Amino acid sequence: MSSPIADEVARRRTFAIISHPDAGKSTMTEALALHARLINEAGAIHGKAGRKSTVSDWMEMEKARGISVSSTALQFDYTPTGTDQASVINLVDTPGHADFSEDTYRVLTAVDAAVMLIDAAKGLEPQTLKLFQVCRHRGIPVITVINKWDRPGRTPLELLDEISERIGLTPTPLYWPVGIAGDFRGLRDARTGEYVKFTRTAGGAKIAPEEHLDADAALEREGDVWVEAVEETELMAEMGQVHDEESFLAGETSPVIFSSAILNFGVRQLLEALVELAPAPHERAGIDGAEREVSDPFSAVVFKVQAGMDSAHRDRLAFMRIVSGEFERGMVVTHAQTGKPFATKYAMTVVGRERETVDTAFPGDVVGLVNATALAPGDTLYAEKKVQFPPIPSFAPEHFAVVRADSAGKYKQFRKGIEQLGTEGVVQLLRNDIRGDASPVMAAVGPMQFEVVAARMKTEFNVDVQQERLGYTVARRTDAASADELNRQRGVEVFERTDGVLLALFSDKWRLQYIEKELPDLALETLVAAAD
């Protein structure tokens, strides 16, 4: 039976783009926003040296380097061609750099589908493989986009073979390229046989015009290039590699589209594939195993906490993914971790630094709660019927550094800033009695996280910090009974993480192996690895 919430849920698609750095993720994000008329002109410029920041980048470090190191959320309406029903698209942007894979993991807890963006010249790369494994583990269906087809690259069949062989996912083409990599003329619709001919716009700043031709007209226009595209798509069909919705949702197959995000080719096709094929928001299990249905009273999970997004407002935003029910701004909900009430007076959608007030939202939507100092990633909010969703695991850190204020006179600001960044999950913060509160240890998946800490401490708290790298490379969870013995061992130091977990740091894996062999009764538990 139709209901207002059911109707709203059916219109929503919430997804993330996963990729290796430089595969074109930020450019694709902007191209999608352009096609949805969220922006009037794309800001991407050929060549990194002159590249403008995209609409979802907000940190000065991101703009200077042309990379995304934090996650943001874009929401826009999109009406597919030939329909009058607008869909609501929630695109949760992810960090492109491997050093921020923990932040990407958090984002993937908030989406229902993923777009795997692959560079046509490089194929599958390590970061893409890691993130796909996270999608597989979480049961997130994946649409594959082979990007940068406007540049020289590998053959379509070679790229699809690699996907099949390396990750065990059967690629099923939706749109096949007409023209080799570097000579991108258009796409053949594998399901209808129609030819979509693209026309370049100056600098790719505008939506690329499309011309739709039947097979005969395409053959006359493109000749042998069209024949090759037809033969290759028919070969895939003969091998059984055609889209099947059940197999896609089960994580066995992946629909494939070829594109050039920087030229806005193939972008509309991706949007319409998302609307047609990606799942709508659905139920989620609580820690007790009970399913929270989308029609149940309001609930949401916090997946990202971020401060410093707007230098004019020293506030802190907690991004929540709505799981069930209708959200109304101003409603008082319960914070599951503390049992305390939480007021939602200030609720926003955020596009880069631009904010708009949200009055209502539905399952699948992402809402930013302002001044949410009590919330941390993984927290649950609910109304009426109690629920608590499983926590988001922290990754095993591999890089460690002591951080201190450059000036003793700024210790108060230093303490406030470091604690805030730790709560946000920018780094994990570790302390022990020997080093004291003035010299906490930062633990990170990648060293660029330390750069973010230094940059944000300077810009948001006016504190210059000193960082001293530590010679530890491996972390294991331990307990109080084992801590004293571990601290007596050479090349080992035990710390308490902000969440109360005890971590033992080891100089290298050989030191760990030696202690595990000599002292087998000590508690040493493996943490979640970034590659898991």
* Mean pLDDT by groups of 10 residues along the chain of 532 residues: 83 92 86 80 45 47 46 81 90 67 80 96 86 85 97 97 94 98 97 95 86 97 97 95 96 97 95 96 95 97 76 72 96 96 87 77 94 87 96 84 92 90 86 90 88 87 94 95 96 93 95 96 82 47
Torsion angle defined by CA atoms of residues 94, 95, 100 and 106, in that order, rounded to the nearest 10 degrees: -10
Q: Which residue is it, tokens 């608590």?
A: 388
Nearest to 498 by CA among 447, 442, 451: 442
Q: Are 99 and 398 in contact (CB under 8 A)?
A: no
Sign, Cα dihedral of 521, 525, 531, 532: positive
Domain 284-382: which CATH number of 3.90.420.10, 2.40.30.10, 2.60.290.11, 3.40.50.720: 2.40.30.10
Q: Which residue is it, tokens 């993480």?
A: 497
Binding residue numbers for GTP: 93-97
Q: What are phi and psi of 52, to 5 degrees?
A: -75, 155
Nearest to 97 by CA among 23, 15, 148: 23
Nearest to 261 by CA among 70, 51, 454, 413: 51
pLDDT value of position 2: 58
pLDDT value of position 448: 83
Binding residue numbers: 93-97
Can you tell me the distance from the alpha carbon of 318 to that of 256, in angstroms, rounded to the nearest whole number?
34
pLDDT value of position 529: 58
Strand partners, 335: 340, 381
The secondary structure of residue 453, as a DSSP letter, is H
pLDDT value of position 333: 97
Nearest to 66 by CA among 35, 101, 27: 27
Torsion angle defined by CA atoms of residues 498, 501, 502 and 506, in that order, rounded to the nearest 10 degrees: -90
Which amino acid type is present at position 196?
V
Q: Which residue is it, tokens 């949007």?
A: 271
Q: Are 66 and 51 in contact (CB under 8 A)?
A: yes
Which amino acid type is present at position 223?
G
The secondary structure of residue 298, as a DSSP letter, is P
pLDDT value of position 221: 96
* Token code pair at residue 187: 């796409």
Can you tell me the distance from the alpha carbon of 350 to that of 356, in angstroms, rounded to the nearest whole number?
7
CATH 3.30.70.3280 correct for 399-518: yes
Name the CATH superfamily housing domain 4-100+108-277: P-loop containing nucleotide triphosphate hydrolases (3.40.50.300)
Decide: helix, strand or coil at residue 469. strand
Can you tell me the distance from the alpha carbon of 189 to that of 187, in angstroms, rounded to the nearest whole number?
6
Can you tell me the distance from the alpha carbon of 111 to that of 37, in angstroms, rounded to the nearest whole number?
23
Q: Are 94 and 20 in contact (CB under 8 A)?
A: no
Decide: helix, strand or coil at residue 114. strand
The DSSP code sequence of 57-72 is --SHHHHHHT---S--
pLDDT value of position 216: 97
Rg (CA), the chain: 24
Can you tell me the distance from the alpha carbon of 103 to that of 100, in angstroms, rounded to the nearest whole number?
5
Can you tell me the distance from the alpha carbon of 203 to that of 262, in angstroms, rounded to the nearest whole number?
8
Can you tell me the distance from the alpha carbon of 422 to that of 453, in angstroms, rounded to the nearest whole number?
9
Half-sphere exposure of 191 (CA within 13 A, CB side): 12
Cβ burial 412-448 (10 Å sphere, 16+ → b, else e): ebbbebbebbbbbbbbbbbebeeeeeeebbbbbbbeb
Torsion angle defined by CA atoms of residues 307, 310, 314 and 317, in that order, rounded to the nearest 10 degrees: -40
The secondary structure of residue 52, as a DSSP letter, is P
Half-sphere exposure of 273 (CA within 13 A, CB side): 31
Region(s) of the chain under CATH 2.40.30.10: 284-382
Decide: helix, strand or coil at residue 484. helix
Can you tell me the distance from the alpha carbon of 384 to that of 79, in angstroms, rounded to the nearest whole number?
35
Region(s) of the chain under CATH 3.40.50.300: 4-100+108-277
pLDDT value of position 156: 97
Can you tell me the distance from the alpha carbon of 427 to that of 69, in angstroms, rounded to the nearest whole number?
13
Region(s) of the chain under CATH 3.30.70.3280: 399-518
Strand partners, 505: 475, 493
